[in-house]
Amino acid sequence: MVSANTRRIVIEPVTRVEGHGKVTILLDEQNRVEQARLHIVEFRGFERFIQGRPFWELPVLVQRLCGICPVSHHLCAAKTVDGILGIDRLTPTGEKMRRLMHYGQMFQSHALHFFHLASPDLLFGFDAPVARRNVIGVIAEHPDLAVQGVMMRKFGQEIIKATAGKKVHGTGAIPGGINKNLSIEERDTLLAEMAQMLEWSRKAVAIAREYTLRNLATVSGFAAFDSNHLSIVRADGAMDLYDGNLRAINASGGKIVDQVSPLDYLSVIGEAVRPWSYMPVPFRRQPGPEAGWYRVGPLARVNACDFIDTPEAEAARKEFLGLTEGRPNNLTMAYHWARMIELLHSAEVIQRLLEDADLQGDDLVAPRGERRGEYVAMLEAPRGTLTHHYRVDENDQVTMANLIVSTTCNNEPMNRAVQAIAEQHLSGRPEITEGMLNHIEVGIRAYDPCLSCATHALGQMPLEVTLVAADGEVVDRRAR
Amino acid sequence: MNTDAITLTIDGKKIEARRGDTILEAADRAGVYVPRLCWMKDLLPAGGCRVCTVRVNGRPQAACTQPVAPGMVIENDTEELRELRRDLIDMLFVEGNHFCMFCEKSGNCELQALAYRFGITAPKYPYLFPQRGVDASHPDVMIDGNRCVLCGRCVRASRALDGKHVFGFTGRGPGKRLAVNGPNLAATDVAAPDRAVAACPTGTLLVKRVGYKVPVGRRLYDHSPIGSEIEPQTPGK
């Protein structure tokens, strides 16, 4: 319960994340943090308004809920629709084209986040002046990194265009497969840049690793807290971002859920609702919402998998886990390092796929099997595990949709991060400094949340902080 | 010289036409594109959408229904008529629920292609957001009433080309809607190969489970605007 004399600090909007969020910190009379909350105040309503639409529209329709990672929704919906059509195995060309699209998306999303959203904090420090600590500052002082970010994102977007038809909101994945293969010309254009992309990916891993090791004392005390970690993994335990079964591990690495089919996700995952946010809180049904929350995304995936099946990323993973002597890493700021390991992994997978002649095959769509009225599919989106669940009636119309998006899964961890940082940096200090508030944003940003799954906010949004007394009087306000 | 041949001018250009041609047919033959929506090859013209409105000796006429006559002076590609057509297309958009971004007809849709040709990037009139349903009762064909522009092509094609009477209209004025000959589409004798289904210029009548099979880049209007097939002398206009 919030006491009568609580004061309130609001950070709105949270900048350099995808979307629009708001942070409220409730202080008690001694200026101690009573409660910290990340509000997600946008409401999309997709689950309701896709009801009645024909199911084959879903991959193209549902991806419209996001302009940042539409490919993830496009492919997850396509996988679900495959299942509805009774298709359990795609043709090699269909499967590999979709994988290429997915890893291209992962590559561009991770590059964008690291180089343009997160790098100002890492390069200049959390307390650096706002005028410097932004992407323009990165361009001015580290032009090579800024350009790398642009070029890596462009490479990923070109892969998406070659597989989906457009860089944003394409139509490539269709029920049962793909609507085009990769031409020799498209392949050669992409392969020509491959060596450079791999090299930049290696360097990005090195930057993230060196940052973490150099600032180990800081990052170890910054929103570090034990959690469960959840992701899908391949049948042999390998990292697989496109397909697999659920695995959840606890903070010390013990497997608490393993190789659970996405079809059985409801037996494992529930969703709780909080009155102050439109974003639900997913949790493991055992032990329930209080203790069953988990992290998803790069950190969870690198922690949860047994190995990565590309050599350079696997070597990087081993080095990453070396820091925690093989146990899961529970540092919020380690997300950046884990994300760059996945960037390198994505580059290696892209190279492997581009060299595979199956991409030039003509057998694009698998034959339909026995029709199902309901199906669930999962994949690992850049920000974490994504679940699409649809029911379809005998007229091919959607009757029920449930989407559990990645950022939703990280709802509780982000709140925990905000609370941990707020307790450490704000308690007992009546004065609000920009750097202190940015620490909270840095914590949220590490999770690379996509708060609306739709809007972009790149650094230039105003930040207003208001300190409100329990009686509603504004006692302090700061604006950028 | 053919005795049936007559001469007229379109936008100051002298063209030859055959007696009995409509203005639209004569213009097509001469490589002059007159925008149209409810007109379809092999069907009698209906003159319903008025997108093909031209000025004939100063008077507005539907080019798809007006026969040619010797010495006609026709205005087609003028700013006034472009503006009129733009408004008509705009109104067709706002009186339905046209969400091109996920419509499977996108790239092959004549309404969308007209909007692109006329440079309509956003509607000028307010959306009406009508309540219209989806009839997916038939195993192979569906109707998404949200996208219907009441062109009547399916109505005419079903009768004239399929020998059926699947489609018709019900209501008048703003309440006019596409109707089917039965309680729902499943109760009719429509079939996926019917010319009536293919006649739809928008994504209203669809063969089920086709979706987005044609990739972006290979769709009808991905590279050249609607009308280019008639005006080959200006490709990519």
> Which ipTM did the prediction report?
0.91
Q: Does B136 contact chain A (CB < 8 Å)?
A: yes
The phi, psi pair for A255, rounded to 5°, reads -80, 120
Scored b (16 or more CB within 10 A) or e, A314-331 reads: bebbeebbebeeeebbbb
Token representation of residue A321? 């886990």
Please name the residue of chain B whose CA is at the shortest distance from the CA of residue A392.
B136
Do B200 and B154 contact (CB within 8 A), yes or no? yes
β-strand partners of A272: A281
| pLDDT score of A341 | 98
Rounded to an integer, what distance in angstroms lies between the CA atom of residue A413 and that of residue A219? 16
Cβ of B211 and A56 within 8 Å? yes
**Residue A273 pLDDT exceeds 80:** no
Cβ of B102 and A57 within 8 Å? yes
Rounded to an integer, what distance in angstroms lies between the CA atom of residue A87 and that of residue A56? 13
Cβ of A171 and B215 within 8 Å? yes
Do A55 and A290 contact (CB within 8 A), yes or no? no
Low-confidence ranges of chain B (pLDDT < 70): 1-3, 232-237
A173 CA: distance to closest CA in chain B (Å): 9
- Mean per-residue pLDDT over chain A, rounded: 85
Say how many C-beta atoms besides its own lie within 10 A of residue A372's C-beta.
14
| pLDDT score of A8 | 66
What is the arithmetic mean of pLDDT over A170-185? 97
For A418-467, the DSSP string reads: HHHHHHHHTTT--S--HHHHHHHHHHHHHT--BSSSS----S-S--EEEE
Rounded to an integer, what distance in angstroms lies between the CA atom of residue A21 and that of residue A12? 7
Do B18 and B26 contact (CB within 8 A), yes or no? yes
Distance of CA A360 to the CA centre of its chain: 31
Pairing of strands A228-233, A294-295: parallel
Q: Which residues of B touch A53 (CB under 8 A)?
A: 134
pTM recorded for the entire structure? 0.91
The structural domains of chain A, with segments of one domain joined by +, span: 7-43+413-479, 46-408
% of chain A beyond a pLDDT of 70: 82
Say how many C-beta atoms besides its own lie within 10 A of residue A44's C-beta.
16
Q: Does B213 contact chain A (CB < 8 Å)?
A: yes
B42 CA: distance to closest CA in chain A (Å): 31
Cβ of B211 and A169 within 8 Å? no
Using one digit for the tens of pLDDT, what is the confidence trace for A396-414? 999 999 888 888 788 888 8
**Between A and B, how many CB-CB pairs are < 8 A?**
53
Cβ of A179 and B142 within 8 Å? no
Residue type for position B178: L
A411 CA: distance to closest CA in chain B (Å): 29
Please name the residue of chain B whose CA is at the shortest distance from the CA of residue A55.
B209
A277 CA: distance to closest CA in chain B (Å): 29
Q: Which residue has the higher pLDDT, A433 or A410?
A: A410
| pLDDT score of A445 | 86
Among B134, B209, B215, the residue with its CB nearest the CB of A56 is B209
Cβ of A180 and B137 within 8 Å? no
Q: Does B208 contact chain A (CB < 8 Å)?
A: yes
Cβ of B211 and A170 within 8 Å? no
B69 CA: distance to closest CA in chain A (Å): 48
SS3 content of chain A, % helix, strand, coil (to 5): 45, 20, 35
**Residue A35 pLDDT exceeds 90:** no
| Helix A143-164 with A70-84: angle, nearest 10 deg | 30
Band the pLDDT of A347: cuts 50, 70, 90.
Answer: very high
Using one digit for the tens of pLDDT, what is the confidence trace for A219-266? 998 989 999 999 999 999 999 999 999 999 999 999 988 999 999 988
Among A52, A57, A164, the residue with its CB nearest the CB of B211 is A57
Among B136, B214, B216, the residue with its CB nearest the CB of A54 is B136
Rounded to an integer, what distance in angstroms lies between the CA atom of residue A29 and that of residue B1? 102
Cβ of B136 and A64 within 8 Å? no
| pLDDT score of A431 | 62
B139 CA: distance to closest CA in chain A (Å): 7
**Residue A19 pLDDT exceeds 60:** no
Q: Does B214 contact chain A (CB < 8 Å)?
A: yes
Rounded to an integer, what distance in angstroms lies between the CA atom of residue A334 and that of residue A297? 11
Residue A158 burial (10 A CB sphere; 0-12, 13-18, 19+):
middle
Give me the sheet containing B134-135, strands edge to edge.
Answer: B134-135, B141-144, B205-207
Please name the residue of chain B whose CA is at the shortest distance from the CA of residue A177.
B213
Q: Does B102 contact chain A (CB < 8 Å)?
A: yes
| pLDDT score of A461 | 37
Please name the residue of chain B whose CA is at the shortest distance from the CA of residue A168.
B101
All structural domains of chain B, each given as residue ranges with its CATH number in brackets, are 5-77 (3.10.20.740), 87-207 (3.30.70.20)
Q: Which residues of B touch A165 (CB under 8 A)?
A: 215-217
Question: Quick one: CA torsion of A338, A341, A345, A351, rounded to 10 degrees?
Answer: 140
Question: Quick one: CA torsion of A448, A453, A458, A463, rounded to 10 degrees?
Answer: -90
Rounded to an integer, what distance in angstroms lies between the CA atom of residue A229 and that of residue A30? 35
| pLDDT score of A192 | 98
Q: Does B216 contact chain A (CB < 8 Å)?
A: yes
Using one digit for the tens of pLDDT, what is the confidence trace for A5-18? 666 666 666 655 55
Q: Which residues of A touch B214 (CB under 8 A)?
A: 179
Q: Which residues of A touch B203 (CB under 8 A)?
A: none
Cβ of A56 and B217 within 8 Å? no
Q: Which residues of A touch B108 (CB under 8 A)?
A: none
Cβ of B137 and A53 within 8 Å? no
Using one digit for the tens of pLDDT, what is the confidence trace for A181-213? 999 999 999 999 999 999 999 999 999 999 999
Q: Which residues of B touch A396 (CB under 8 A)?
A: 136, 142, 208-209
| pLDDT score of B161 | 98
Q: Does B187 contact chain A (CB < 8 Å)?
A: no
Do A70 and A169 contact (CB within 8 A), yes or no? yes
Residue of A56, A58, A396 to mutate for B, most B C-beta atoms under 10 A: A56
The third-level CATH classification (topology) of the domain covering A46-408 is Cytochrome-c3 Hydrogenase; chain B (1.10.645)
| pLDDT score of A454 | 25
Q: Which residues of A touch B217 (CB under 8 A)?
A: 165
